[in-house]
Every structure is written in structure tokens, then in C-alpha cells.
Amino acid sequence: MPLVILKSSRLTWVRLAALVFTCVAFSVAAHGGAVSGGMYDWSIFCWAFSFAGTLLVLVVELMGLQSRAPVSWNNFPISFACYASLFCLSASIIFPLYFLKGETRRDEVRDHRIASSVFSCLATVAYFVEVSLTRAQPGEVAGYMATVPGLLKVCETFVASVIFAFVSNPVSYDSHPALKWCMAVYCICFVISAAIVVMCVGECTGFLPFPFARFLSAYALLAVAMYLTATIIWPIFKFDSRHSGTSRRPDFCQYGHGLCWWDKLVAVAVLTALNFLIYLADLVYSARLVFVTA
């Protein structure tokens, strides 16, 4: 009969903590939160996805199955942890914003929602700690996703995903060709960054017909230039009255739950600028990265 030897380490305890926190977050929300809708579904997905992925990583590592995994185990766990931290962070913001803001009642339902929000925040901290424990240190030979540019690729794709959610509900990019260009920037950069993450996790970078390092630097430079244009264009055509924009927040926005359409336009502008800075940091770090061929 095979035996599983549990090796205690800080990383294992952090993953177990994240597993418990995410399990409690979605269990409490589903059991007594008394909520529904798209934002509720998104929050549950964030917690359930993080829980399932963490359970998978723990089982593989405790059973010693890393060499049999169909993905690069130098890249997969930290990539997942980074995505999980961002997913839980978004749920920690969205869930209380939509289901606790403005709530005046004090009952068991409200307590369940508060508990889910608290455990979501704890899970976010746990995943950030996991990323800090597993990321590559200066001078260390590690998988690309464990380096700063690799982690930035995860952030780039996640921020772009949030932008997609905001510009599509309601659709806010089809009123002018310049705004369609912004949407093209978001899509092109998202697809390429996501492809890089998939190639690194799947260990497919060696099949490229050109040097991977040069491709990363060239792409980072192109993405910086494209996002710079979007960072300038989006606020001009959404908040400048000369281009049919609205610079003031409508009064009715303060009475509803969550974000109104104007808030989402501001969020897109902020996230576009944020992604521009992330791509700029990616460009700087990619130029300094040294690739080692085994």
C-alpha cells in the first residue's frame, strides 16, 4: 500500500491556508448569502477556480507527480497562484461593492456576505504570499513564469479581461473608429500575452522559428506603443465634450448598486493606463532578462 509523506514547509502551509479560505468564501456565499446575478456568479467562479487549482497543485506535489504532469511544473504553479491572487482580489472588491454597499439590514444574510468578503481577502493575501515565496530571485535559474516579466504577463492578461467586461456591458467602443482602435489594442495584446503564458506553461517556446527572448522584447515594445495610444485616445473620446464625451458623473449613479455606465468608462481609462505601465515595466525587465539554454 503506497504511503504519502507530508513534508511540512511554509509553501505547503500557505497553499493549505488558501485552500481553506477559498472553500469557506464560496461555501458561505452559496449557503447563506442569498444573492444572485452576474457579479455573484463571477465571485463564486473566482473562489471555486482558485480552490480547485490549489487542490490540484497540492495533490500533484504531495504525490510526487510533477514529472508526469503534461505541463511545465516550473511554470504552472506560480502562474496559477498569480491568476488566483488576482481572481480573489477582484472578488474581494466586487462582492462587497455589489452586495454589501448600501446594505442597512443587520441579519444572518449580511453576516454571511461579510464572512465571504473577509475570507476572500484572506485568500488573496495567501496567494500573494505564495507568489512571493515561489518567484525567481535575482541570479536564480528558473522558469520564465517565475520571473518578473512572466508574472507581468499574467497581470497584463487579467487587466485586459477586466477591461473586456467593462467595455461590453454596455458596449462602449462602437461609437467612433478611434474607440474601435482601443478595442483592437486590448484584443491584440491580450491574445499575444495569453499565447506567451500558454507556450511557457506548455513548454512550447522551443518550437518558435525565432529567438524567444528577441520576440519578447519586440512584443513588449510594440505593446507599449499601442497601449500608449489607447491611454490617450480613450479619455479624449469618452470625457471630452467636443467629442460627445461626458466629463461629469451623472447624478443617478450614486443611487444604484455597483458601477454605473460612467463609472465603467472611468475604470476602463484607469485600467488602460495601468496596463500601459505594466507593459512598460515588462519592456524594462525583458531587456535585462538572461535566458539560459539547457
**pLDDT single digits (tens) 144-202:** 888 888 999 999 999 999 999 889 877 888 888 999 999 999 999 999 999 999 999 98
**Per-domain boundaries in the chain:** 1-146, 147-293
Answer positive or negative: Cα dihedral of 202, 203, 205, 206. Answer: negative
Closest CA to 46 of 158, 200, 151, 186: 158
**pLDDT single digits (tens) 227-257:** 999 999 999 988 877 767 677 777 767 766 6
- What are 55's three cell numbers? 487542490
Is the per-residue pLDDT at 288 higher than 80?
no
pLDDT band at 4 (very low <50, low <70, confident <90, very high): very low
3-class secondary structure per residue, 53-66: HHHHHHHHHHHCCH
Q: Using CB atoms within 10 Å of the CB of residue 278, give its burial: 0 to 12 exposed, 13 to 18 middle, 19+ buried.
A: buried
Is the preceding peptide bond at 250 cis, omega within 30 degrees of 0?
Answer: no
Pair 29, 43: CB distance under 8 Å = yes
**pLDDT single digits (tens) 75-120:** 999 999 999 999 999 999 988 888 877 666 677 888 888 999 999 9
What angle, rounded to 10 degrees, do the helices at 10-32 and 76-99 form? Answer: 30
Answer positive or negative: Cα dihedral of 31, 32, 38, 42. Answer: negative
Residue 5 has a pLDDT of: 42
What is the reported pTM?
A: 0.88
What does residue 171 show for φ and ψ, rounded to 5 degrees?
A: -65, 125
Identify the three-state secondary structure at position 83: helix
**pLDDT single digits (tens) 49-85:** 999 999 999 999 888 888 888 888 889 999 999 999 9
